[in-house]
Each structure stands twice: as C-alpha cells, then as structure tokens.
Amino acid sequence: MQCMADWSFKLLENVLHKTSAAFHKIASEWLLDGAVEVKLPDLLIGCEYLVPKILEIGRNIQHLKRFRGQRSYEYKLEQRTNLIEDETLDKGALWYNIHQRGRLYSIVDQLSTTVSEDVMHELMERQRLLDHMLFVQAHFFMLRGEFTNAVQDAIREASAMDRKRTGFSAIPIPKKQTPSLIAEAA
C-alpha cells in the first residue's frame, strides 16, 4: 500500500510541477508581452484572483502597444522584467505552495500598478484625454445651442407620439430654445 501511495504522490507532484512551470512561462509571456496564444492550464481555472488580474494586465499592455507601437513601448518592458527578476521566483517553483503563490500575487499586483500608471500617463499626457473630454463637453453642452434644440425637438416628438398613443404624456415638454432664451439663461 505504501508503494501505491508513494507512486500517487510522485505522480501528483510531477503533474503540479509541470503545470506550474507551464503557468510560469504563460504568465511571463502574458505579463511582459501581452501576447499568449495557448490555453491556460486547468489548475488555474479556479484561481479567482490571479487569472483575471493577469488578463487585465495583458489587455492594458495590448492597448499600450497599439497606442505607442512596439518600439516605443519597449522602454517599459525593462521595468516590468526587473519586477519579476527582483523577486527571484524559482521557475520550477510549485505555485500551490502558499509562500510562492503569495510572492506571485505580490508581483502581479506590482505589475498591475505599473501598467495602470502607464496607461493613465498615456491617456492623460500623450493622448490628452482630458482636453478631448473638455472639448466635447464645451462643444455639445455649452457652446452649441443647436445641439440642445435638437435634443429638445426629439423629446417633443417622443412626447407627442406618447400623447397620441396613451392620451397623455409622462415626458415633460421643454420650451423651445431660441437665441434670446439662451442669452437670458446665460
């Protein structure tokens, strides 16, 4: 009976070891390059925290590559690679080990923070998202009276159709905006 138990334990240990080595390779490729075309090991299917976090990091990396192109993106690759190498995770480490998994969670959290900061920098500084949003707000809601009139006309039409169908309208009918009313409101 002992021989059978040893064989079963050895088999289980071998499966876990191979799975964790495969996971390390997949996670490293996804975290560093944002590109994985292989199926995740079945061992990771129940990992509620780790897999979504890794996929989120990979998606952010893909967006950054799309914004910047491969060459200009690579300067951040060294920083992410150093995060992984500084932790000196043993590539053969078994991820079911609580200590190893805790270190892996720590690395994934640090990478997530780094990549998220990079995405925010890209959107706010390089793509000037705030300027675009302020322009949209100013164009559609403050400076353009015809947009407001078009919205009010659409509401008026919906109210009239509602009134014909039911006999009354639950939609309040706004006053028609004219340049003099707009000037008075300002």
Question: Taking 60 as the threshold, does the pLDDT of residue 80 lie above it?
Answer: yes
Please tell me which residue, 92 or 50, carries the higher pLDDT value.
50
- The pTM of the full predicted model, rounded to 2 decimals, is 0.49
pLDDT mean across residues, the chain: 67
Please tell me which residue, 36 or 4, carries the higher pLDDT value.
36
The mean per-residue pLDDT over the stretch 22-29 comes to 63
Amino acid of residue 125: E
Assign residue 177 a region (left: φ > 0; alpha: ψ between -120 and 50; beta: otherwise): beta
Q: According to the model, what pLDDT value does residue 114 have? A: 84
Q: According to the model, what pLDDT value does residue 30 have? A: 63
Q: How far apart are CA 48 and CA 98, in angstroms?
A: 15
Distances (CA, A) of 14 to 3, 20, 50, 90: 16, 10, 22, 16
The highest-confidence range among 15-24, 46-55, 124-133, by mean pLDDT, is: 124-133
CA angle (48, 104, 93) in 5-degree steps: 110
Q: According to the model, what pLDDT value does residue 2 have? A: 41
The highest-confidence range among 41-45, 131-135, 140-144, 166-170, by mean pLDDT, is: 131-135
The highest-confidence range among 5-19, 72-86, 102-116, 170-184, by mean pLDDT, is: 102-116
CA angle (102, 108, 73) in 5-degree steps: 160
Amino acid of residue 142: M
